[in-house]
Amino acid sequence: MTEPTLSTLANQPNCMDDYDPNAMSVQQARTYIQQFLEPVTETELIPIREGLGRVLAEDVISPSNVPNHNNSTMDGYAFKHRDGIQLIHVKGTAFAGKPFTGDLNPREGVKIMTGAVIPDGCDTVIMQEKTVDKGGDYVNLLEVPPKGTNVRLAGEDIKEGQAILGKSHQMQAADLGLLASLGIAEISVYRHLKVAFFSTGDELVSVGKPLQEGQIYDSNRYTIYGMLSKMGAKVTDYGIVEDDPALLENTLLKASKEHDVVITSGGVSVGEADHMKTLLAKHGQVLFWKINMKPGRPLAYGKVANAHYFGLPGNPVSTMVTFYQFVRMALLALMGSTNKPLPTFKVESVAAIKKAVGRTEFQRGILFNDNGDWKVKPLPMQGSGILSSMSQANCFIVLDETTSHCEAGAIVDVQAFEGVI
Ligand code: AMP
Ligand code: MG
């Protein structure tokens, strides 16, 4: 069956039996979003040093072998292997970077340093400690090592013509060194993703201004800024926009014209959602979902002009959880990167966890090492407004829809923040 388009889903939510915007599982929501994501196509050539975190737009092919010559892994003597050989006539020395260039006859060899080229006519290196200097340029071998011992062969690590890094790979520190080891100075990467964001809410005030009664500081713009920056996006902060249809419309249209993605927080839950909902229905194709998850139940996803749009719930923890569970994956796909789900593994919970069947929960916990075993301690305050729980935590404890209350000692799934957040 062909998947319905975004506009069909937005305008006729009853078009499919198994599509219920008011009861979406986390996985369903991810799958729906994923099918509408087309990666950016523009590329740029950059020096490798600027490549950290960038996504390769093409395979990188090795222009040479690594190592590019057979070389010694030991300080010792290089010689041509033959059974029973006891004495070598040493005709010179091979240093790393300064090869021995003379001719060698059988039973002749050279003193060789680690990393030096194996001279023509030699195939084996005996380590210095297994030889005795007999004087007069002769050394005795205390044993005959098997042919090829202590020789690192050309192309052993990488072969000329081999694809060493694939298109869509996100560059890491080791990759920079790998490319340098091949003499590659520049790489072709997808351009940066341009992401705009703003907060909605009459009660919000920016840091640096005094609070009036009933007002709160806007924290979501800061967490969103941090999460986007960490992912290497080019961000534009449109500030706080009051719950005013004209202001919201202006900002939304401006942001969507100039960016690949627009993210808002707040104003997507029932009742309050109406401004944004009406606007988004007028200018875009946006799906409003109630997701079977806690925290972070309301979520809007769609397109406004050519920009992808994510409407995140306003509660500070919900904003972060929905970002990590939906937006992060989508941004990676738009950046051209192969989809990398957050790594999940199983550990023991040292305390009981309150949970009802029916929703996937992303509770905050602290992973710690208990005499060599990793365990998790759930944080006591799990409310969707308790931002300090995200700051103290170093992982999500992921409890799926079917899981109920967990006793202390239960094995639970965790997603570590380290390396991601
Ligand atoms: P909403 O999703 O707009 O209904 O907001 C849900 C809750 O999150 C309300 O208590 C808001 O005051 C709060 N909230 C919304 N936006 C922000 C923000 N940018 N920073 C901090 N809290 C927010
Ligand atoms: Mg609001």
Residues with CB under 5 A from ligand 2 (ion): 201, 266-267, 314
pLDDT reading at 421 higher than 70: no
How confident is the model over 196-254, as pLDDT tens digits? 999 999 999 999 999 999 999 999 999 999 999 999 999 999 999 998 999 999 999 99
What is the token pair recorded at 292?
A: 């079977």
Mean pLDDT value of segment 40-44: 97
Q: 115-129, 204-218, 274-288: lowest mean pLDDT where?
A: 274-288
Mean pLDDT value of segment 384-400: 96
Ligand 1 lined by 201 (C-beta under 6 Å): yes
Q: How far apart are CA 101 and CA 75, in angstroms?
A: 18
Alpha helices in 245-293 (DSSP H): 245-258, 274-283
Ligand 1 lined by 220 (C-beta under 6 Å): yes
How confident is the model over 143-154, as pLDDT tens digits? 999 999 999 999
Q: Phi and psi dihedrals of 174, rounded to 5?
A: -60, -35
**Residue 131: predicted pLDDT:** 98
Residue 188: CA atoms inside 13 Å, Cβ hemisphere, count?
Answer: 10
Unique residue bearing structure tokens 């020395």: 93
Q: ∠ CA(232), CA(293), CA(16), 5° rounding?
A: 95
What is the token pair recorded at 107?
A: 């039973």
Percent of the chain at pLDDT above 70? 97
- Give 2's pLDDT tier (boundaries 50, 70, 90): low
Ligand 1 centre distance from Cα of residue 362 (Å): 19
Q: Which atom of ligand 1 is nearest to the CA of 298?
A: 2
How confident is the model over 100-113, as pLDDT tens digits? 999 999 999 999 99
DSSP state, 48?
Answer: G
Ligand 1 lined by 297 (C-beta under 6 Å): no
pLDDT reading at 275 higher than 90: no
Which ligand number lies closest to the CA of residue 243? 2
**Residue 398: predicted pLDDT:** 98
Residue closest by Cα to atom 14 of ligand 1: 314
Ligand 1 lined by 199 (C-beta under 6 Å): yes
**Residue 343: predicted pLDDT:** 84
What is the token pair recorded at 320?
A: 């972060």
Alpha helices in 86-150 (DSSP H): none
**Residue 420: predicted pLDDT:** 53
**Residue 276: predicted pLDDT:** 84
Ligand 1 lined by 219 (C-beta under 6 Å): yes
Mean pLDDT value of segment 406-411: 98
Ligand 1 lined by 315 (C-beta under 6 Å): yes
**Residue 272: predicted pLDDT:** 61
pLDDT reading at 122 higher than 90: yes
Q: E-strand spans in 192-244? A: 194-200, 204-205, 216-217, 234-241
Residue closest by Cα to atom 15 of ligand 1: 314
Q: Phi and psi dihedrals of 51, rounded to 5?
A: -85, -10
- Residue of 306, 329, 334 whose CA lies nearest to 40: 334
Ligand 1 lined by 265 (C-beta under 6 Å): yes
Question: Long-range contacts made by residues 106-110, C-beta under 8 angstroms, separation at least 24?
Answer: 106/80, 106/82, 107/79, 107/80, 108/79, 109/77, 109/78, 109/79, 109/80, 110/77, 110/78
Which ligand number lies closest to the CA of residue 299? 1
How confident is the model over 355-373, as pLDDT tens digits? 999 999 999 999 999 999 9
**Residue 419: predicted pLDDT:** 64
**Residue 270: predicted pLDDT:** 67
- Give 57's pLDDT tier (boundaries 50, 70, 90): very high
Q: Tell me the best of 220, 222, 225, 244 to mutate to test the pocket of ligand 1, counting ligand atoms within 8 Å of each CB and taking the most.
A: 220
- Give 268's pLDDT tier (boundaries 50, 70, 90): confident
* pTM exceeds 0.85: yes
Residue closest by Cα to atom 17 of ligand 1: 314
Does residue 188 or residue 288 have the better pLDDT?
A: 188
